[in-house]
Amino acid sequence: MSKRTFGLAVAQVGGIQPEETRVEVVARLISMMRVAHQRGAELVVFPELTLTTFFPRYWTESLQASDHYFEREMPSGETAPLFAAARELGVGFYLGYAELTPEGRRFNTSILVDGQGRITGKYRKIHLPGHADNRSNLTHQHLEKRYFEVGDLGFGVFESQGIKIGMALCNDRRWPEVYRALSLQGADLVVLGYNTPLDVPGWSEEPHAKMSTHLLSLQAGAYQNSVWVAAAGKSGTEDGVYMIGGSAIAAPSGEIVAKTIGDEDEVVVTHIDLGMAEMYRESVFDFAAHRRPENYSIIVDRVGRGEPVPVPGFDREA
């Protein structure tokens, strides 16, 4: 098994309040990049919608009125110091942010930046949870379907800092198709940011289950696809809403090898062994040898749960 270590950090971000400025947030991120660098990190993963509070909790009559939450360019004057820090330290980063395109389209986006401060990959979130209508009876809403279009870039894998990296965002991590699409393109590592409120109206998991299903999603994705997975979240209270932390790195064995323990800005660094995935890729998950895609068509043909498909010899009418 070849061994190639890579310094990987997840940088959990404590709550960002609505009045906090981009300049203040960027300063917090840069100080975490410096800590990660001191501990040997080559890449730092930041959360989804890192630069602002999780604004899809607020209803808005006019999307234009929310433009201040969106980035029109990347880097901008306010985010350029992050790119300068990447160049200075030779440390890459993954960053989630709200993107407003020149055509006026809105996406929940992430980028990959290398140690020279170059943007080497981009992803626009595909699985947008929540609703688009105003549910004003709720203490906090989840309006990603109102604010964002479904991403139009697919699930890309990018060569960056010498490794193949796939990206996802938050709710994507709960869908096995995402990791499989990335692994089939040779990804070594899947990086993702998230914002997971503890209390989601209509999705009332116990706190222990909320953390468990989050970690389970990372672990299953890593194991079943022979990839490393690194996930960074917001944590602590944001404008009265508690966001779960538990930012973590999962190995191709499915084991969690690093995890935050607090609710504030927190960096964890692990030197991952990229060669570890090879044993899995060459044995139990040798896709080329063992996958049977001719039997998987239902996965793309059908969206929701439905009736069983007839099996020869078992006539359900009989």
Comparison of 30 and 220: residue with beta carbon closer to ligand CDT:
220
264 assigned to active site? no
From 4-12, 194-202, 273-281, 283-291, give the range in contact with ligand CDT by CB under 6 A. 194-202
Task: Give me the least distance between CB of 129 and ligand CDT, in Å please.
Answer: 4
210 assigned to active site? no
Question: Per the structure block, which two tokens stand in for 60?
Answer: 């808005």
Comparison of 16 and 163: residue with beta carbon closer to ligand CDT:
16
Is residue 232 near ligand CDT by the rule CB under 6 A? Answer: no
- From residue 245, how far is each of 99, 181, 197 by CA, in Å? 24, 26, 9
By C-alpha distance, which of 177, 178, 218 is closest to 196? 218
Q: Which residues on neighbouring strands pair with residue 163, listed in sequence order?
A: 160
Is residue 194 near ligand CDT by the rule CB under 6 A? Answer: yes
Is residue 124 near ligand CDT by the rule CB under 6 A? Answer: no
Task: Give me the least distance between CB of 205 and ligand CDT, in Å please.
Answer: 10
Residues with Cβ within 8 Å of residue 286, at least 6 apart in sequence: none
234 assigned to active site? no
Choice among 170, 210, 234, 238 that is catalytic: 170
Choice among 71, 99, 125, 266 that is catalytic: 125
Task: Give me the least distance between CB of 244 and ligand CDT, in Å please.
Answer: 8
Is residue 156 near ligand CDT by the rule CB under 6 A? Answer: no
Among 174, 180, 234, 259, binds ligand CDT (CB under 6 A): 174
Task: Give me the least distance between CB of 126 and ligand CDT, in Å please.
Answer: 11
Positions that interact with ligand CDT (CB under 6 A): 48, 129-130, 142, 170-171, 174, 194-196, 200, 203
